[in-house]
């Protein structure tokens, strides 16, 4: 773990804490000293000083609103494994779990430890990042994208010197996306060298549980959609709300496609343009390029509106004037389409607005999905556009 461990077996914790307080005072006051903090601590102190924080005061840490905290908990995949995680760690010290923004979502520990943490503002809803509370294991682990353990005066704020903290990033095992930080904290002089291994074990357990829950959800979705998939003809996918594939037929796909949205076309490798159809617990995705394809009418009589019909339910999307102009130009260009440079010239009179064009087309695709293809920009295969008004 490189620079992770703050102490080694056999370390005299009281003496080490005194040494670190001298280092903290010398470095942050600009005094000369032969002692230096660990590299991870030195980097963090430099960042925090540049942010204008003060080590001798409690820097601002107002918690988020209760409804915001509940929303973050609800949307975090970790909520499904928090009990298993707490079971591994809760009896050792204070366990804290944050989201990827450093907001504390859950705490668990002895009442006396929780009360001491409250005195630091170390509670649910608090943002525990370096720019807010200085060098701490959670915030520094977020910056370093690595496990971090801090002991006593390695913390920037003096009020945190009575603590140790050992933090480990928690990732989505499906995507590698950072979900948050798992941290174990307690009185500094109770730090044991095995704490690091305990936190890592808890994180690995949580990640494996997340994977098992994911597989179970997809299995339930596959079974619930069997009757629909069995009655539908041709190639198809059954996916969840995030695009994870529970079932496929007639097409080789990866584990995931773009997340479906109601009334928005999406492009699937091997299937082309598709219009997702809502199921009770997920989505049925089938090619829209069957007879009839997708018919879109761009009404320019008033505020531009795009009406789309295909195999699924018809839908309408209001457009900006600029987006309607882009669709009109792509309609006129036909199958060859337009490069970003040519579209820039058509819209702005020169080819100097390529970046702006790309941003506009990206926003247009977010509004109407893959009805517009890229490289070059054109109407996707199977899309018939008519202009009205």
Domains of the chain: 13-215 (3.30.450.40), 231-285 (no CATH), 294-388 (1.10.10.10)
* Pairwise CA distance, residues 261 & 69, whole Å: 26
pLDDT tens per residue, range 182-231: 999 999 999 998 898 999 999 999 999 999 999 999 999 999 999 888 88
* 290, pLDDT greater than 60: no
Question: CA-CA distance, 340 to 330, in Å (whole number)?
Answer: 11
* Mean pLDDT, range 166-177, rounded to an integer: 93
Token pair belonging to 168: 């480990």
Share of the chain above pLDDT 70, in %: 96
Please give the pLDDT value at position 385. 92
Tokens found for residue 345: 């010239």
pLDDT (tens digit per residue) in 128-167: 999 999 999 999 999 999 999 999 999 999 999 999 999 9
Indicate if the pLDDT at residue 369 is higher than 80: no
Starting at the edge strand found earlier in the chain, the sheet holding 305-309 runs 315-318, 305-309, 294-299, 383-388
Identify the band that residue 310 occupies on the pLDDT scale cut at 50, 70 and 90: low
Q: How many CB atoms lie within 10 A of CB 252?
A: 8
Residue 33 has pLDDT above 80, yes or no: no
Mean pLDDT of 92-105: 94
Residue 267 near residue 274, CB atoms below 8 Å: yes
The pLDDT of residue 2: 44
Considering only residues 311 and 253, tell me which one the structure prediction assigns the higher pLDDT.
Answer: 253
Quickly count: other Cβ atoms within 10 Å of residue 349's Cβ: 9
Element containing residue 179 per DSSP (H, E)? strand 178-187
Q: Which two tokens stand for residue 6?
A: 């703050």
Position with higher pLDDT, 222 vs 89? 222
pTM score, whole prediction: 0.74
Pure H helices in the chain: 13-29, 39-50, 66-75, 82-89, 111-119, 130-133, 137-144, 195-224, 226-231, 321-333, 340-348, 354-368
pLDDT of residue 59: 67
Predicted local distance difference test score (pLDDT) of residue 182: 97
Our measurement of the distance from residue 160's CA atom to the centroid of its chain's CA atoms, rounded to an integer in Å, reads 29
For 229-257, the pLDDT digits (tens) are 888 878 899 999 999 999 999 887 778 88
* Strand 383-388, strand 294-299: pairing: parallel
- Which secondary structure element, helix H or strand E, spans residue 321, and what is its range? helix 321-333
The token pair at 140 is 């520094």
| Per-chain mean pLDDT for the chain | 89
In which band, very low, low, confident or very high, does the pLDDT at 309 lie, cut at 50, 70 and 90? confident
Predicted pLDDT of residue 1: 42
Q: What is the pLDDT of residue 312?
A: 56
């Amino acid at each position: 773990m490189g620079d992770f461990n703050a102490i080694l077996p056999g370390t005299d914790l009281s003496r080490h804490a005194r040494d670190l307080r001298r280092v903290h005072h010398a470095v942050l006051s600009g005094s000369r000293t032969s002692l230096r903090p660990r590299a991870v601590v030195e980097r963090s102190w430099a960042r925090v000083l540049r942010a204008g924080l003060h080590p001798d005061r409690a820097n601002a840490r107002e918690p988020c609103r209760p409804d915001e905290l509940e929303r973050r908990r609800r949307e975090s995949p970790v909520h499904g494994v928090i009990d298993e995680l707490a079971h591994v760690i809760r009896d050792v010290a204070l366990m804290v779990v944050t989201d990827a923004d450093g907001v504390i979502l859950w705490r668990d520990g002895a009442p006396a430890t929780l009360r001491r943490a409250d005195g630091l503002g170390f509670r649910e809803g608090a943002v525990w990042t370096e720019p807010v509370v200085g060098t701490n294991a959670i915030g520094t682990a977020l910056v370093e994208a690595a496990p971090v353990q801090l002991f006593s005066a390695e913390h920037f704020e003096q009020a945190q010197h009575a603590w140790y903290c050992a933090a480990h990033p928690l990732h989505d095992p499906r995507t590698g996306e950072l979900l948050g930080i798992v941290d174990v904290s307690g009185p500094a002089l109770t730090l044991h060298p095995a704490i690091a291994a305990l936190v890592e074990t808890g994180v690995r357990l949580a990640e494996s549980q997340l994977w098992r829950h994911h597989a179970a959800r997809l299995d339930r979705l596959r079974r619930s959609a069997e009757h629909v998939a069995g009655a539908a003809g041709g190639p198809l996918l059954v996916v969840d709300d995030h695009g994870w594939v529970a079932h496929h037929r007639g097409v080789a796909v990866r584990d995931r496609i773009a997340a479906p949205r109601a009334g928005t076309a999406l492009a699937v490798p091997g299937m082309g343009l598709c219009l997702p159809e809502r199921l009770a617990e997920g989505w049925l995705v089938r090619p829209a390029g069957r007879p009839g394809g997708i018919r879109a009418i761009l009404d320019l009589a008033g505020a531009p509106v795009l009406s789309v019909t295909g195999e699924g339910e018809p839908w309408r999307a209001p457009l900006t004037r600029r987006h309607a102009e882009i669709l009109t130009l792509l309609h006129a260009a036909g199958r060859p389409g337009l490069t970003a440079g040519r579209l820039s010239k058509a819209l702005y009179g020169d080819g100097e607005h390529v970046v702006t064009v790309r941003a506009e087309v990206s926003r247009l695709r977010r509004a109407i999905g893959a009805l517009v293809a890229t490289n070059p920009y054109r109407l996707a295969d199977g899309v018939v556009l008519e202009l009205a008004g």
